[in-house]
Amino acid sequence: MITDRLHGMIFCAITGTPCVVINSKSPKVRGCYEWIKELDYIQFCDDINNFSEAMKVVSKGSHRYDNSKLMPYYEGLKTDILAMFGKHR
């Protein structure tokens, strides 16, 4: 997929779909990409001269989203939200 949309990039990351993300006016796209930049099948392209290389990188291999690095963050959020409502694990 080729996109400049935040949600397009996120859905590609989750589904393991190769994606080249074109820089857009929204800083959210680059900011979110920083969270998932270790996924080799998602490439951020802020210079048209790098587009061909980005396409080559995302075309290699099979891809699967691994959320294990983010799970501690989500667990912390869950704990905080439950605490706000007076509920405990």
pTM score, whole prediction? 0.71
Q: Encoding tokens for residue 18?
A: 């190769």
Residue 86 Rama label (left phi>0; alpha psi -120 to 50; beta) = left
Q: Which of 5, 67, 68, 16 is nearest to 41 (CA)?
A: 16
Q: What is the pLDDT along the chain (89 residues), one digit of tens a residue?
A: 999 999 999 999 999 999 999 998 889 999 999 989 989 999 999 988 999 999 988 988 778 888 888 889 889 999 999 999 887 65
Place of tokens 């400049």: 4
Spatial distance between the Cα atoms of 7 and 5, rounded to a whole number of angstroms? 6
**pLDDT for the residue numbered 21:** 96
Q: What is the pLDDT of residue 88?
A: 61
Please name every residue paired with 42 in a beta bridge, in sequence order, or none if there are none.
19
Helix (H) or strand (E) holding 43: strand 42-45
